[in-house]
Structure 1
């Protein structure tokens, strides 16, 4: 990207012992290739560890038992502590700045250091006669970064496949490598301007030299791309961002192509080839997924297209989109890009799949924000004849839709001894399928006979404990996943009944942080009062373990015992806010067994039917839980969770590596990250104490 690259100079000498420009480009890709190779090796080892655990017949399959696996676990724990660490958010005038975790930041800093070293290695930047050499070299280093930017950008991602990482996570690296490219190009242009400035020649070059004009145009377009990709601007309108990004990309590539000499045009051809590959792979897979000729189960009414979807309006401006008999398979936690031209023309939006493949349907829960998601809700509301009539059966208002995907990668959770799932709001669309998948594996392991288990040569899940925490603002949101939660709890109870030696444990807590119906003077028994006016204990034989006011804690602490009881806990005063007459509790719970009362009155709160239950002592509770290892908990709490306490309680029982998965607001994700780092350090996993490691997965579309 030099301002005057008129002749071949890739192999030119810039002094004794100074590497050639071509050699430095190769050195950059040697470093990048080594990093990708290390990530690939780690991915392969992780797959080997997962398979080893599922085929381990011991009582603690997730615990390393050999020197190799112990060493790998120690190295992994040390790396995770550094990688997961993050700074506390910074609040400036009601604006909160969230910082990315340290691991990705270190990778970007390492890339920046490598680039700067290659730009200035053995060059004297204070010598005016060397400024031209710096201009040439920084141009060559800048152009060599283009392929990496495109490798990180594609949805059909080669690096993601090798490293076992989702394209959505790599997109963050894509943006920061692009910013490094912009910095390199700016240095390149700056040294040429500095060289010309000695002779007052800058204006003349910009007006008369075509090569300079093309290079300056490329820099201006790149600057616009970098500024437009900043989060505050990017989030103004997803559709506008995608459109302008494609247009400016074409302009940038054209300007760079016209600017650089023929000897380095290969660095432009490679990104173009990667883009063509990504598009061709996406279109080919999209044709297979959406054309009915490839699927025998396609709907008869649509002879050409495979998928049609129903749109149902739900409380909280949420649209349920359901595709029956889809033409693709997927893993829990993955997402697809959904297109419905009849409602939102020429737009494609990513939505997490909230169902499992065995449901034989793809289900999305889409909250109406701006643009396409709001149009989905308006369409569903307009075409739902029973909206507002108190019925829940949706009207069939099917539309042809197209899907692209599925996308998304994470380590299979079935390999971990204990799993903690934390979801905030609509983050449950990601977490609940993961919960259901583990419970499904438990059920299959329990119901299969000995012959079937022996044919599998292993178990389906090594997980023993499953902890699910969902933070919502209102009880109305519970209705979104009422059926799924009931089904999961019922499946675990069935496993306990069919297998007396069933040793799995599931604990579900729902934190309601803001609900106008909460009343501090009423109590409710969850065995009779549904949490979402419909979410009840799966089996009537469940017993109520703990009962305080609903304002404070609506609890279904159900253990599998013949006789049940409940206990009350003392209340203290906490903090809360009351916006618009509602009750929003902001105090965090350090321990769910020691809850404090939120001292505010919820205006207009309707009384709730109550049933008094005799309290049980702490000794009786512990006795019941100890004698019945198949513990099923379902708790609804009016307060905000304390992630550190929740995770620690699970880790204290863990007999192998644990997994923590969070999907929700940035604040929740930051709290979980810091909690995992702190607990890992507290347990001194990296120092060989014998404590087991913690795998963390934070699900979001970029940091």
Structure 2
């Protein structure tokens, strides 16, 4: 359709828009391929610094990467209004969304005069054509089997954030399209007449109303209010929107409706095929020879803190650390599927998930586990119920392999350890395998990592019981590797911070604030002497002193403040424990059978490198990261999973340290890769 001399045609602009989108995807694909090649090269490098660039090309690439990272990782400070804190997305994703918005607006108004009333109809046509050509991108970003994600190396849950903002850009374009038609009709007071008698206008207005409803109900507060309801209404309204757009669009542009429908069909077919393979035992006879039809059966175990441990022995899926699956158990929670992080590693031959009971399906899981399973640590001798049939979809999730980095820093808050613990165990398992097999006959190493720093911030000492055995096993494995190969650097440092942080685990009452009537307890850090020389009586007393009661008020100050909320600037400056607060125990709901608390080990001497260091207070992320980076001889990785406050703090620390080290100025300092794990923004 021609709009005059020098004015691009409507179909040409649609092609130009997808040329821009295709170029961006192609650039992301090239970067993804290059990063994969770099990871392979590092594992094949036999030098002492495999994670350090050794050529002009990769040195230049590292410098450019550092510049982009500093800009994209940065985030605006959170905004507090009337007690509510609002967090902002990093500048990198915001820049991509802003760039897309600018491209769309330029294409909408290029060479058209908005002040000329005779051009309003042309603008209406132009914006309509630009709006409808955005539909395929929205559907591409929405699928779990995501083609864009495969190309650029991003998981679907991260792309879903872009899906929502591209949809909002589509709504803005459709609104401009409608307003200019209304403006054109309004000159003759013809708007209501057109909506009543012009079928094309009626269908278009209906499509805009449905899209407006979708955009409003996709806001974060509404999604969190009832996610199951949101998913159901989202699917229903989406069908209505597509039908209305198809009826409204002219025949020559209906292809832009059929393309997203094709993407949706591909996503569903691919998901159903993968789920069929993962859940039918006919494909996994060697793993589950006794199962008649379904391959995956799970046991449900209650843990302290209203947490359910779900374990699937010999699952029909293969996964990597940091991935998650969608779990369905119709016999307990019918017609619901929930995403849960995989907290085990493939070497365990068991797919384990830790699920906190909050509401809906997760609450039912814990209620079933508490009622029908022997409670962990309890004296109930009743036989456990048989495993239940479950269905898994996935795994999903993607990040750069951590074993390629010189140093890895893992920070978690509360349930965020379900993500970082398997990452930690995977690297140590690679160290152990290398130590067992040796390097003489291997062309590639299993891990280039030399140092690991693990930090876990928890609210209650009872939470430590979830992973205490795994963490102690990791320390033992690292010590064995160091003894077997003292010439190879294998260092690990762990810290457990216990803090009364309501954001880590929502409490039903502020227990520390109610503790003014309780006197503070004395410090209980044992003297710095070998553990084997400590008498059994002394060990028992220490354990009793550091155990947590149901209200967890042992470490609270008389004035009502909680001493474990203090920030610890530097762990090396701590010579004694000034606070014994263990954080209050996890709140137990009145309608859920609580699991009994477990006794936990006392805080061990800080000077012993292979002990699990337990501290009362809040970590100082910048100091922790800086100390590791000072020893790094190659690119480092920082992984954080937890509350938004912790994630933002780590982001700012990484950006500040990268700028301080002047990686982008050619100082020779190595870069920092940051991965923030959270389900959407």
Q: Which moved more, 1:386-395 or 1:688-697?
A: 386-395
Hey, what does 2:251 align to over in structure 1?
A: 262
CA contact (8 A) 1:25 1:144 kept: yes
Instruction: Tell me if 1:98 matches 2:92.
Output: no
1:419 to 408, 415, 438: 408
Hey, what does 2:674 align to over in structure 1?
A: 696
Deviation sequence 1:95-142 (CA, Å, 0-9, x none):
110000000000000000000000000000000100000000000000
CA contact (8 A) 1:315 1:476 kept: yes
CA distance in 1, matches of 2:311, 2:601: 37
Residues 507-526 of structure 1: pairs in structure 2 closer than 5 A: 507-514=493-500, 520-525=521-526
Hey, what does 2:352 align to over in structure 1?
A: 363
CA contact (8 A) 1:312 1:395 kept: no
Give 1:581 deviation, angstroms: 7.5
Residues 79-228 of structure 1: pairs in structure 2 closer than 5 A: 79-228=68-217
Where 1:152 maps in the other structure, the secondary structure is: helix
Deviation sequence 1:215-259 (CA, Å, 0-9, x none):
001000000100011000110111111101110100000000000
CA contact (8 A) 1:333 1:434 kept: yes
Instruction: Tell me if 1:661 matches 2:661.
Output: no
CA distance in 2, matches of 1:124, 1:216: 25
Give 1:205 deviation, angstroms: 1.1
CA distance in 1, matches of 2:6, 2:268: 44
Where 2:70 maps in the other structure, the secondary structure is: helix
In structure 2, relative to structure 1, the CA distance for the partners of 1:34 and 1:229 (3 Å cut) is same
Hey, what does 2:552 align to over in structure 1?
A: none
1:495 to 468, 475, 481: 481
In structure 2, relative to structure 1, the CA distance for the partners of 1:45 and 1:381 (3 Å cut) is same
CA contact (8 A) 2:406 2:632 kept: yes
CA distance in 2, matches of 1:92, 1:611: 40
Residues 248-647 of structure 1: pairs in structure 2 closer than 5 A: 248-386=237-375, 389-390=378-379, 395-449=384-438, 453-514=439-500, 520-525=521-526, 583=562, 585-595=564-574, 632=610, 634-647=612-625
Where 2:571 maps in the other structure, the secondary structure is: coil
Give 1:208 deviation, angstroms: 1.5
Where 1:339 maps in the other structure, the secondary structure is: strand
Give 1:209 deviation, angstroms: 1.3
CA contact (8 A) 2:520 2:558 kept: no
Where 1:248 maps in the other structure, the secondary structure is: helix
CA contact (8 A) 2:462 2:600 kept: no
Where 2:294 maps in the other structure, the secondary structure is: coil
Give 1:58 deviation, angstroms: 0.7
Q: TM-score, normalised by structure 1?
A: 0.86
Hey, what does 1:674 align to over in structure 2?
A: 652
CA distance in 1, matches of 2:370, 2:610: 37
Where 2:299 maps in the other structure, the secondary structure is: strand
CA distance in 2, matches of 1:604, 1:702: 29
CA contact (8 A) 2:374 2:380 kept: no
CA distance in 1, matches of 2:582, 2:46: 54
CA contact (8 A) 1:73 1:693 kept: yes
CA contact (8 A) 1:54 1:462 kept: yes
Hey, what does 2:9 align to over in structure 1?
A: 20
In structure 2, relative to structure 1, the CA distance for the partners of 1:689 and 1:181 (3 Å cut) is same
Give 1:497 deviation, angstroms: 2.3
* Structure 1 residues not aligned, in runs of 5+: 1-11, 529-536, 543-548, 555-575, 626-630
CA contact (8 A) 1:74 1:688 kept: yes
CA distance in 2, matches of 1:40, 1:146: 22
CA distance in 2, matches of 1:603, 1:650: 28
Give 1:582 deviation, angstroms: 9.0
Give 1:391 deviation, angstroms: 6.8
In structure 2, relative to structure 1, the CA distance for the partners of 1:604 and 1:202 (3 Å cut) is closer
Give 1:483 deviation, angstroms: 1.6
Give 1:525 deviation, angstroms: 3.6
In structure 2, relative to structure 1, the CA distance for the partners of 1:204 and 1:411 (3 Å cut) is same
Give 1:370 deviation, angstroms: 1.1
Let me know the Cα RMSD of the aligned residues.
3.1
Give 1:523 deviation, angstroms: 1.1
